[in-house]
Structure 1
Amino acid sequence: MSRFLVAATPAAGHVNPGLPIVRALTAAGHDVLVSTGPAFEAAVTAAGARFVPMPAGTWIDAAELDTLFPERARLTGARQFRFDLRTFFTAPAGAQAAHLLSLLPGFRPDAVVADTGFVGGGLVAEAAGVPFGVYGISVFPYASRDVAPFGSALPPRADLPGRVRNRVLGAALRRYVSGPSVAELNRQRTVVGLPPGRATVLDWNDRTGLYLQLSPPGFDYPRSDLPTVVHEIGMPEPPVPPGWTPPPWWRDLAGRRVVVVTQGTVATDPALLLRPALDGLAGLDVLVVALTGGADPASLGPLPPNARAAAYAPYGPLLRSAAMMVTNGGFGGVQLAVAAGLPLVVAGRTEDKAEVAARVAWSGVGLDLRTQRPTPGMLAAAARQVLASPVLARRSAELAARAPSADAPARAVALLEELARTGGPVHRSASPTPSRHRA
Structure 2
Amino acid sequence: MAKVIVGATPFEGHVGPVLTIAADLVRRGHEVVVYTGSRFEARALAIGARFQALPPDADLDDRRLDSLFPLRATLPPGPAQLSFDFETFFLGQLPAQVRGLRALLARFPADVVLGELGFWSIPVLSLSAAPRERPTLVTLGSIPLLIQSEDAPAFGPGLLPTSGEEARARNRAMNAEVRRLFADLQSFGEATLRSLGVPMPEYLFDVPFRRTDHYLQLTVPGFEYPRGDLPGHLRFVGTLPPTPSSSYAEPAWWPELSAGRPVVVVTQGTVANNDLTELIVPTVRALADLDVLVVAATARADGPELVRQALGDVPDNVRLAGFVPFDRLLPHADALVTNGGYGGVQTALYYGVPLVVAGVSEDKPEVAARVEWSGTGVNLRTGRPAVTEVRVAVRTVLRDPGYRSQAAIMAKEIGQHSPFDAIAEIVDAAARR
TM-score (norm 2): 0.91
Which position in structure 2 is the counterpart of 1:429? none
Whether 1:226 and 2:230 are equivalent positions in the alignment is yes
Please, which runs of 5 or more residues in structure 1 have no aligned partner? 423-439
Q: Secondary structure at the match of 2:204?
A: coil
Q: Give the counterpart of 2:335 among 303, 324, 327.
A: 324
Paired residues for 1:238-253 under 5 Å: 238-240=242-244, 243-253=247-257
For 1:144 and 1:421, how far apart are their aligned partners in 2? 35
Which position in structure 1 is the counterpart of 2:272? 267
Q: Is the 8 A contact 1:98 1:192 kept in 2?
A: no
Question: Structure 1's 39 and 102: CA in aligned 2 closer, same or farther, altered over 3 A?
Answer: same
User: What whole-Å deviation, never above 9, does each CA across 1:152-174 have from its counterpart, x for those lacking one?
Assistant: 31112342111111111111111
Q: Is the 8 A contact 2:209 2:215 kept in 1?
A: no
Structure 1 residue runs of 4+, over 6 Å off? none
Name the structure, 1 or 2, with higher relative contact order (CA <8 Å, separation 6+). 1
User: What whole-Å deviation, never above 9, does each CA across 1:143-192 have from its counterpart, x for those lacking one?
Assistant: 11111111131112342111111111111111113x32223323432453
Which position in structure 2 is the counterpart of 1:113? 114
Q: Is the 8 A contact 1:23 1:47 kept in 2?
A: yes
Q: What amino acid sits opposite 2:238 in the alignment?
A: G
Question: Structure 1's 135 and 405: CA in aligned 2 closer, same or farther, altered over 3 A?
Answer: farther
Q: Is the 8 A contact 1:4 1:33 kept in 2?
A: yes
Q: Is the 8 A contact 2:54 2:100 kept in 1?
A: yes
Q: Is the 8 A contact 2:2 2:427 kept in 1?
A: no
For 1:280 and 1:66, how far apart are their aligned partners in 2? 30
Cα shift at 1:205 = 4.3
Cα shift at 1:241 = 5.4
For 1:304 and 1:420, how far apart are their aligned partners in 2? 57
Residue-pair matches, total: 421
Q: What amino acid sits opposite 1:62 in the alignment?
A: D
Question: Structure 1's 415 and 399: CA in aligned 2 closer, same or farther, altered over 3 A?
Answer: farther
Q: What amino acid sits opposite 1:119 in the alignment?
A: W
Paired residues for 1:13-412 under 5 Å: 13-76=13-76, 77-128=78-129, 129-177=134-182, 179-195=183-199, 199-240=203-244, 243-255=247-259, 256-268=261-273, 269-294=275-300, 296-297=302-303, 298-301=305-308, 302=312, 303-404=314-415, 407-412=418-423
Cα shift at 1:196 = 5.4
Cα shift at 1:323 = 1.0
Q: Percent identity?
A: 40
Q: What amino acid sits opposite 1:131 in the alignment?
A: T
Cα shift at 1:254 = 2.1
Question: Structure 1's 17 and 218: CA in aligned 2 closer, same or farther, altered over 3 A?
Answer: same
For 1:234 and 1:204, how far apart are their aligned partners in 2? 19
For 2:282 and 2:416, how far apart are their aligned partners in 1? 31
User: What whole-Å deviation, never above 9, does each CA across 1:244-301 have from its counterpart, x for those lacking one?
Assistant: 3333333332224221111112322111101101111111222211122325121112
Which position in structure 2 is the counterpart of 1:435? none
Cα shift at 1:10 = 1.9
Question: Structure 1's 250 and 18: CA in aligned 2 closer, same or farther, altered over 3 A?
Answer: farther
Q: Secondary structure at the match of 1:201?
A: helix
Q: Which moved more, 1:161-170 or 1:405-414?
A: 405-414
Q: Is the 8 A contact 1:236 1:406 kept in 2?
A: no
Q: Secondary structure at the match of 2:215?
A: strand
Q: What amino acid sits opposite 1:116 in the alignment?
A: L
Task: Calculate the aligned-residue CA RMSD, in Å.
Answer: 2.1
Please, which runs of 5 or more residues in structure 2 have no aligned partner? none
For 2:54 and 2:416, how far apart are their aligned partners in 1? 29
Question: Structure 1's 397 and 368: CA in aligned 2 closer, same or farther, altered over 3 A?
Answer: same
For 1:69 and 1:223, how far apart are their aligned partners in 2? 37
User: What whole-Å deviation, never above 9, does each CA across 1:353-380 have from its counterpart, x for those lacking one?
Assistant: 0000000000111110111110111111
Which position in structure 2 is the counterpart of 1:432? none
Q: Secondary structure at the match of 2:418?
A: helix
Q: Is the 8 A contact 1:210 1:419 kept in 2?
A: no
For 2:397 and 2:247, how far apart are their aligned partners in 1? 35
TM-score (norm 1): 0.90
Question: Structure 1's 96 and 108: CA in aligned 2 closer, same or farther, altered over 3 A?
Answer: same
Q: Is the 8 A contact 2:2 2:430 kept in 1?
A: no
Which position in structure 2 is the counterpart of 1:434? none
For 2:243 and 2:195, how far apart are their aligned partners in 1? 37
